[in-house]
Amino acid sequence: MTKELTHADWYAKCNLVEALQDQVYALKAKSEALTAMVKPVPVGMCLVPIEPTFEMIAALFWDGNLDMMLGHAAIAKEGFTHYRNMLLTVGASSPVAIKKAH
């Protein structure tokens, strides 16, 4: 047995659907605007983050062993400094494309 919707119920549901549609259109517009801002990474380059992850530093000095990195905080700190300096030499202030090492 189904409950019949009153005129007020239908009106409320229509308003909800319209509100949801407005939100979807707004999100689609934002998505399209963000997509237009994205620049492709040139062939032979890769995108790197401004701040290295712990895993990146561990891979640099200890073959990816995070426990070893945590036991050598001073060397790990040096790794973060070297990474930042490397990006500063290319003038990075946002994620940057750098040449891939082969």
Distance in angstroms (rounded) separating the CA atoms of residues 89 and 7: 67
pLDDT of residue 98: 58
Identify which of 36, 37, 17 has the alpha carbon closest to the alpha carbon of residue 25.
17
Exposed e or buried b per residue across 26-51, where buried means at least 16 C-beta atoms within 10 angstroms of its C-beta: eeeeeeeeeeeeeeeeeeeeeebeee
Domain boundaries, the chain: 1-38, 40-102
pLDDT of residue 18: 92
Distances from the Cα of 80 to the Cα of 8, 61, 65, 90, 92, angstroms: 62, 11, 16, 16, 15
pLDDT of residue 99: 60
pLDDT of residue 52: 85
Write out pLDDT tens, residues 27-83.
Answer: 999 998 888 887 787 787 777 888 888 888 888 888 888 888 888 888 888 888 888
Of 99 and 12, the structure prediction assigns the larger pLDDT to 12
Tokens of 32: 């399209």
Cβ partners under 8 Å of residue 32, min gap 6: none
